[in-house]
Structure 1
Amino acid sequence: MYFNSQDDRDKGSVVDWMKNRVTTGRIAGIEQLPGRNLWQSVNDHFRAYLNLPEAERPRLNLPPVSETAPGEKFQSIYTRDCRPLENTAYLESRGITKTTIENPQFAGRILNQLHTVQREGMPAKTYVNTAFPAYHAGRVVGLELKGEGFKGQAAESQFARSLWLSKLPAGRPPTHLVVSESAIDTLSYAQLHPGERVLYASTSGTLTQNKIFEMKRLMDEELIPAIKSAFDNDTQGHHFDTRLLAGFASEQNPMKVVREHEYLLTVQVTTSDLTGIQAVTQQLKDFNARTTEHYKRESGEADSPALAQTLRDSLISSTRQGPNTYQFHVPMNREALGTFNQAIGRHLQYDKKIELVKSQGKDWNEDLKQDQMRQVVKRELGSDNTPQPEAPAAVPDKGERLLTIAYRESRDEMSQLSTLQQNLERVGLIIDHSRRLESTAPREIATELTLRYQLDSPQLPAISAALDSLAINPRVAVNEAVPAQTERRQLAAEQEVARQQKRAEQQQLQPSDSPSHDQARRVFIEAAAPVAQTLRENGGGLQAAYLQQASKSLLKQPVLKALDQENLVRVLAKIDQVPALKDSSSVGQLRQAMQVLSTPIKQEQAQAQQPERRQPTFIRDARRAIEQEAEGRPDAATYEEAGNAALNIVLSHYLATPLLNPGLLAHERLAHQREHYERLLQQSADLLAQERREGAAEAALRAGVPPVGKKVANARHARTAEENLRLTARVRELEALLAAR
């Protein structure tokens, strides 16, 4: 026969063991086989096990139990990896102070467990958990483990019959046994109620009949007259109260839990105390009346002899099963269970005195944190009625700041409290806790939120703006000290200025070797901002993001990447669909800049560095003729410079002519034509002006500027050979003009 201490339904013979594992799938590989029913699958698994050779059958290898020599202290297998409590980080993170931890009653009852994990190819890592030994009859039979983001138990722990216990108080016997759901709640209760002479116990999250037997044994042995049930203030905590009351019921009025359903608890009480049972019934009737009135007020339903199903499921009912035997059917909710427990505990007799104590929040640890937070708020904000002495000027603390807000809303409107909380958390404020305030107006709900934020938070400007907006909201009252408010606004303004400076530094253009590309990058970035804004306003958020990403890339690189070019094609397609951008000058600038930035910069550099390789024959012949004619002239240098400047103008037009240079694309021709044309003309004028030959400079400019027609400007048609010959003739005219001067 076997019995699972963690599940009282898992018990019986070896056949029951196999059946329970086939139906639940607790062990991998043991499950109901396809095409076989339950019992056939059980037989199949047994047959497979028995058909294995003796040596291959899996067995459970338990560690041998070592004998303890006379006088040697017993060492539990559960605590062999434990050390005395040194690392208290987890306990302090839960609000437990050093004073509570060092209480003599908890000495040796809280340990550190070392757990080492070794993964293949990685160094071993040791975790330090906080361990709470579970005791039964004075011996450790389990270990409850707690850590940051972790809770568990040691293998083979017997929590179904054990309790975590403190030591007895020194001197006189304890007045109460205080029992709670977890050791953390027990420590929190002890910290909130110092000075009580009690024995502390924890059930490790479960309450079984064996645990109740252990409590009775402890109270009888240590002569403890009363017990305080300090379970959580939720449905499960009140359910544990009911079990505890049933377990401690006296022989004069035995009490037991007959049925535990997900939504209903049935409790049977046998008593001859008619007065007591009538008092219990009357208190339950009062609860039903209050519940009915509240339901009708909230639902707006008129009085009706027939009860709605929702209301019926919330009421406590009772039936008489026989002489002095009563059954109570209690809904599984906190209010109903709490009312039933108070009535039963107050009006029926028990062998031990039982007190039901509850926390204000969900559990005692939550109460402890709220109490600590109230102390911090009081210290930070002070009292409105008590004048605070003026503190000397000091460097402001760069820590966190606390404040409270009171939010009021009507019951007749849809609640906006959850939306407000989400918005506050979104901007960076942390909501420590909230509590309901007493409303001063009819049908009004008032809620107080305690907020905190870090002064060095990168979201401080948004936090400051949100708090300033709340201050002018008629539904919100902000309770913030004036110095803290001034400090917050100053730091937020400084952070915003620093952020703008950093953004400006990041947006500085890194120059490249191509002036034309740098100019196109500036035009693109300036034009992209208003276009992106208009796209966002017209449902083009994704295309606006593409545009901003391309602008960001162009800050560091002179050409558009292939991915950016693909995305910009989508941007242009979206721009064509937006009427607001139809006649926008920014769009035109954007398109022109894109044409330049799609050109590799190496090609332009090669053309600029090696212009002589692209010179046609008639240009080279003209240069040689100018050099020959300049020999022996008194103004040979000026003559040669003016002639070469004019030839450079001709060369720039030649490079932009698709008939003579078909390898260039349209936007490349435009770029070369504009840059070479303007730069070489200016160089020619500067050189001639330095030689005090202003007249020659003007003549060179007039003679060297050929008439640029629409076809040439758009670079769509080729120049003919006749046009190039005419340009060459003008060079000759320039030579004659210079010779005459």
Structure 2
Amino acid sequence: MKVDFNQIKTAISLPDFLLQLGWKFVSGSSNACPKMSNGTHTIVIKRNAQNQYTYWDVHSDSIRGRSILDFMQEHLLETTGKRPSLREVGEILQKYINTNRIVTPEQSRYDVGNTSMNMNELQFYLNQLKPYSGNYLQKRGIKKESIESKVFQNTFFIREVRNKGSVYRNVCVKMYSERGVEAISQRNENFKGIIGGKFDCLATSSHDKSRPIDILYVGESIIDCISHYQLKQENTPMNLVYVSTEGTLTEGQMRLLRIILDKNEVKAMRTIFDNDKQGYKYTLWMQRYFYGKDIDTESMSTAELAAEVAMLESAELPEHKDWNDDLKIVYNITEESH
């Protein structure tokens, strides 16, 4: 049988294929960047520059940029106990294509791609953003002075969403790729999510572009970033930049960080990820990506990961789970007081 490996990677809608195998969408998923789990593994799906479906495991830095061929190989190993060759997997998937037992990208409702929205769609959402107002941030201990500071001015916005007679006020931040704004991170009291795809985008604060960046901070959440600023750097004369992954750290975001470092004079870069197992992993992934440190995070326990991070001068950890937790404790803010 003739096997067209490129056709297999591009013609089979990976999200629909996984649905047929019992996988489900989980929190943080979007049509442009599906996030799926089978209860054991959780993966995020994106198409690469060749328009091929690829995926990475959010809990494993060794599973990145893999295709449906890799997925099917692992699936058959787990279900049969035998690992087939990629050629054997290719023949199985080619039969699916030849007998029309697949959902194609054109038939799928999941518009997975590198650019999650066209310019008209993106502009539609950007036009809905209004200057930040309300008390969402203040209820988390964040002061008006911090929101309006030179570091975080024009970072937060409000987007009103009307649904079934109710009006929801989402707090939003823009996410930038090398090409400009390509996604919007939004949250309210009950949810958080991304409009568009964030694979190679970062949320970012403001800074003085006329002088060198003293410190580039990298965090998991823009809420944690401004909390760190208020706790550690309020009223500083330094030129600071905070960037946030808005969730899972991706390889595309690390590539974007490298571009930022190459194009700007940055005196220091520090990580401010969460004080938990995944935060430790993100910190060490950064060490490996930027400094070439040989660290096998998958074989390490949580305690070993924490000990490794504790030795790094470039890593700052909150005392509690995240920096906003630290801030709320300083101001004696509890869930009840929300």
RMSD over aligned CA atoms reads 3.7
For structure 2, the residue ranges without an aligned partner over 5 or more in a row are 26-91
CA distance in 2, matches of 1:356, 1:65: 37
Residue 330 of structure 1 aligns with which residue? 300
| CA distance in 2 between partners of 1:213 and 1:40 (Å) | 33
Q: What is the identity, as a one-letter code, of the residue corresponding to 2:307? A: T
**Aligned with 2:100 (options 24, 46, 49):** 46
What corresponds to 2:159 in structure 1?
A: 113
Measured after TM superposition, the shift of residue 243 of structure 1 is 0.5
Q: 1:90 to 1:43 in 2, by over 3 A?
A: same
Is 1:245 matched with 2:287? yes
Alpha-carbon distance, 1:257 to partner: 5.7
Instruction: Tell me, yes or no, if the aligned pair for 1:81 and 1:115 is still in contact at 8 Å.
Output: no
The equivalent of 1:366 in structure 2 is: 325
- Greater helix proportion: 1
The one of the two structures with greater contact order (alpha-carbon pairs below 8 A, sep at least 6) is 2
Instruction: Say yes or no: does 1:14 pair with 2:11.
Output: yes
Given the superposition, is the C-alpha separation of residues 149 and 64 from structure 1 closer, same or farther in structure 2, using an over 3 Å criterion? Answer: closer
Find the counterpart in structure 2 of residue 125 from structure 1: 166
1:341, distance to aligned residue in structure 2 (A): 3.1
Q: Deviations over 1:54-113 (max 9, x none)?
A: xxx95769899568xxxxxx973442322222x231111111111011113322221111
Q: 1:93 aligns with which of 122, 134, 139?
A: 139
In structure 2, the residue matched to 1:158 is 197
Cα pair 2:150 2:207 within 8 Å, conserved: no
Q: TM-score, normalised by structure 1?
A: 0.31
Q: Deviations over 1:357-397 (max 9, x none)?
A: 11111111111111123xx9xxxxxxxxxxxxxxxxxxxxx
**Retained in 1: the 8 A contact 2:117–2:182?**
no
State whether residues 2 and 14 of structure 1, in contact with CA within 8 Å, keep that contact through their aligned partners in structure 2: no
Q: What is the rounded CA distance, in whole Å, between the counterparts of 1:59 and 1:231 in structure 2?
A: 36
User: Paired residue for 2:254?
Assistant: 212
SS of 1:255 mapped into structure 2: coil
- Look up the match of 1:197: 239
SS at match of 2:151: helix
3-state SS of 1:128 partner: strand
Matches within 5 A, 1:521-532: none
Letter in 2 for 1:46: N
Report the structure number with the largest CA radius of gyration.
Answer: 1
Query: 1:436-585 alignment to 2 at 5 Å?
Result: none
Measured against aligned partners, the alpha-carbon deviations of 1:588-634 in whole angstroms (never above 9, x if no partner) come to: xxxxxxxxxxxxxxxxxxxxxxxxxxxxxxxxxxxxxxxxxxxxxxx
Alignment of 1:654-669 (within 5 A): none
State yes or no: 1:137 paired with 2:178.
yes
In the other structure, the counterpart of 2:278 is 236
Map of 2:28 onto structure 1: none
Give the match's secondary structure for 1:212.
helix
Distance 1:23 1:91, change over 3 A: same
Match among 305, 309, 312 for residue 341 of structure 1: 309
Secondary structure in 1 matching 2:21: helix
Classify 1:102/1:77 alpha carbon distance in 2 versus 1 (closer, same or farther; 3 Å): same
| Partner in structure 2 of residue 80 of structure 1 | 127
Distance 1:369 1:246 in 2: 32
Judge conservation of contact 1:78–1:142 (CA < 8 Å) in 2: no
Distance in structure 1 (CA, Å) of the matches to 2:163 and 2:231: 37
Please list the CA deviations of residues 195-238 of structure 1 after superposition, one character each: whole Å capped at 9, or x if unmatched.
Answer: 14311111111112211111121122121021111111111111
One-letter code aligned to 1:255: K
Number of positions where the alignment pairs a residue of Structure 1 with one of Structure 2: 258
Contact conserved, 2:172 with 2:186, CA < 8 A, in 1?
A: yes
TM-score, length-scaled by structure 2: 0.65
Aligned 8 A contact 1:22 1:41 in 2? no
CA–CA distance in 2 between the matches of 1:163 and 1:42?
38
Paired-residue identity, %: 22
Is the partner of 1:140 in helix, strand or coil? strand
